[in-house]
């Protein structure tokens, strides 16, 4: 079970503490069991800090605390604080990644479901889109994205299988498999009725809960071969 440790402290020497944590990260490289760290400053009290450290389990957290580097850094950290830091140990009982859920809505509700207006909920107006299949690889705007989805839906009956999603910070990476039947004109190719399969990866950068920028990488040469044509630039 994922385990979190909350460290609550007060200090007027945060820059020194920050350098100390950088030193600990360098010294414990390859040995530490912590997987994620976030430090927050209290907006109403600039000397109040909360550090959240994530571990795969409580047992791994205890292994981490027994590292000699961890013990040494803790003693130095206490010397920088106004009083003894407090610790709260938490077992994670719910973990939601909302950016990944937003990305899934695009595939399920927009691409497959056909609700183009949902794009307005998910993307900023001047969304930047990078698409390897386009002659102009970078385009801007939700209207461009709406036109792209409409074009694909007119050319194919298709669905997506989301093989894997990885969310880190403001970025979500989705590995997907697309399967479709060619029923309309696509890149100058008349309908063939063929069943096609394509794999790809989409990287999306989020801000304030909406998608600001996207990168699409997918096997367009394979799709064109399955349609009986060679991919064109």
Last residue within a domain, chosen from 57, 73, 91 = 91
Last residue within a domain, chosen from 62, 91, 120 = 91
Q: List phi, psi (to 5°) of 98.
A: -70, -30
Per-residue confidence at 230, pLDDT binned at 50, 70, 90? low
Q: pLDDT at position 232, please?
A: 43
pLDDT exceeds 60 at position 231 = no
Using CA atoms, how far residue 118 sits from 17, 130, 147, 206, 213, in Å, is 45, 20, 13, 16, 17
Provide the residue count of the chain: 233
Q: Mean pLDDT of all residues in the chain?
A: 92
Last residue within a domain, chosen from 74, 91, 108 = 91
Tell me which residue has tokens 């100058």: 188
Tens digits of residue pLDDT in 138-155:
889 999 999 999 999 999
Q: pLDDT at position 3, please?
A: 94
Would 56 be classed as within a structural domain?
Answer: yes
Max CA pair span of the chain? 74
Q: What is the CATH number of the domain that holds 155?
A: 3.10.450.50
User: Which residues lie closer than 8 Å to 40 by C-beta, 6 or more apart?
Assistant: 49, 50, 51, 52
pLDDT exceeds 50 at position 9 = yes
Six token digits for residue 88: 């709260």
Same domain, 50 and 114: no
pLDDT exceeds 60 at position 233 = no
Strands (E), 103-155: 123-131, 138-140
User: Which residues lie closer than 8 Å to 108 by C-beta, 6 or more apart?
Assistant: 160
Domain, as residue range, for 31? 3-91
Instruction: Report the number of distinct structural domains present in the chain.
Output: 2
pLDDT exceeds 60 at position 182 = yes
| Strands 123-131, 210-218: pairing kind | parallel
Per-residue confidence at 136, pLDDT binned at 50, 70, 90? confident
Same domain, 216 and 107: yes
Average pLDDT, integer, range 199-210: 94
Percent of the chain with pLDDT over 90: 77
Report the alpha-carbon distance of residue 90 to residue 191 in Å, rounded.
Answer: 57
Tens digits of residue pLDDT in 52-110:
999 999 999 999 999 999 989 889 999 999 999 999 999 998 777 899 999 999 999 99
- What is the phi-psi region of residue 118: left when phi exceeds 0, alpha when psi lies from -120 to 50, beta otherwise? alpha
């Amino acid at each position: 079970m994922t385990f979190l440790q909350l460290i609550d402290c007060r200090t007027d020497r945060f820059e020194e503490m920050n350098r100390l944590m950088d030193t600990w990260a360098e010294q414990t490289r390859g040995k530490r069991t912590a997987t994620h760290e976030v430090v927050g400053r209290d907006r109403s009290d600039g000397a109040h800090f909360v550090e959240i450290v994530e571990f795969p389990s409580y047992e791994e957290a205890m292994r981490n605390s027994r590292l000699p580097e961890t013990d040494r850094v803790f003693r130095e950290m206490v010397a920088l604080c106004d009083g003894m830091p407090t610790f709260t140990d938490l077992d994670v009982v719910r973990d939601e990644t909302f950016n990944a859920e937003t990305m899934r809505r695009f595939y399920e509700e927009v691409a497959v479901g056909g609700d183009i207006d949902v794009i307005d909920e998910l993307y900023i107006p001047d969304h930047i889109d990078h698409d390897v299949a386009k002659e102009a690889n970078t385009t801007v705007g939700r209207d461009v994205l709406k036109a792209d989805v409409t074009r694909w839906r007119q050319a194919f009956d298709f669905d997506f299988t989301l093989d894997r999603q990885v969310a880190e910070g403001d970025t979500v990476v989705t590995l997907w498999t697309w399967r479709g039947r060619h029923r309309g004109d696509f890149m100058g190719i008349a309908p063939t009725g063929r069943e096609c399969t394509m794999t790809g990866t989409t990287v999306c950068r989020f801000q304030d809960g909406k998608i600001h920028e996207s990168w699409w990488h997918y096997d367009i040469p394979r799709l064109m071969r399955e349609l009986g044509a060679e991919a064109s630039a």
